[in-house]
Structure formats: C-alpha cells, structure tokens
Amino acid sequence: MRKWKILVSSLFVTALVDQAAKSWVLEHLIPYESVQPIPALAPLFQLTRSSNTGAAFGILPMAGDVFLILALSIVGGMLWHFRSVAPDASLVPLAIGLVIGGALGNIIDRLNYGHVIDFIHYQIPNLISNVSNLADHAIVSGVLLIIAESVWRDRRESDSQITATGAAQDGSGVHG
C-alpha cells in the first residue's frame, strides 16, 4: 500500500505543479515572449512561452494525436507494470509517479490546447536552444531514477550473491 501512496502522491504533485507553472506562463507571457528571471543567467536560461504539437525537441510536429495516444498507452502500461514492482523498491514508486505525472501534464495540454505549453528555455549560443516544460523534466528525471534504481538493485543482488558464495565456501554459511 505504501508504494501506491508514493506513486499517487508524486504523480498528482508533478501534474499539479506542471499545470500551475503553465497557467502562470499563459497568464503572464505572450507567445514567444522571453523573460529572464535570473538576469545573470541570460541567455543560458530564460523563460520563453512556446507551443509544441510534436514530440520532444519539436520533432514530428504534425503527429500530435499520435503522441497523445502514445502517452495514454504509456501511462496505462506503467500502471499495469507498477503492480509487479517490489514493495521495498525505494525509488521506483516516486520515479514512475514523476513519469506518469509528467505525461499527464502534457496530455492535459494536448486535450485543452491541441499542443504542449513549453517555457523553460536553455540555450548555449551557436550550439543548442531548447524550450521544454516541467512535465518533460519530470519524465526525464523519473526515467533516470528508474535506471539508477535498477543499477543499484543489480549491484546489491550481485554483492549478496558474492557474499553468500564466499560464506558457503568458507563454511560459515547457514546450512539447512
């Protein structure tokens, strides 16, 4: 039950914070307007109101409906998979909540506006310029946490097997 509480809490907080930030952007910035909340970081970081009908980085802009269906399928698949997550998995409930909450934030945008509201603008002059949103960052953070948890779990299991093998070889293991 604890893992479900963490999942539900993290997905709702993620979606709510994402939607609140996007609401602020819609109320305070006109399309393509930029503001520098931390002037010393401009132009590396600024807020720029943008819309995205496609996938991350604006790829496939005409496939918005496909991404809506894909996002809904991923949310369903993750919820289905979540049932099999070990009760003691420490980061996975939070991580999956971040991914689902981020996906829901972007789904809400697609349903309400026909596109995703982007506003977090990172830019390295003459190299890269990317505008994203909190939902995107939550999805990426969640995926990275899932990968980290998987690596840590594999290492713990490997270390446990090595310890058990060593104990069995020196006769200090517990025998039935």
Which of 21, 47, 75 minimizes the C-alpha distance to 131?
47
| Edge-to-edge order in the sheet of strand 116-124 | 34-35, 45-52, 116-124, 128-132
Q: How far apart are CA 130 and CA 83, in angstroms?
A: 35
**Rounded to whole angstroms, how far apart are CA atoms 33 and 21?**
16
CB of 99 closer than 8 Å to CB of 142: yes
C-beta of residue 81 within 8 angstroms of C-beta of residue 92 = no
> Catalytic positions, please?
118, 136
Element (H, E) at 72: helix 64-82
Residue 117 three-state SS: strand
HSE of 80, CA atoms in CB hemisphere, 13 A = 6
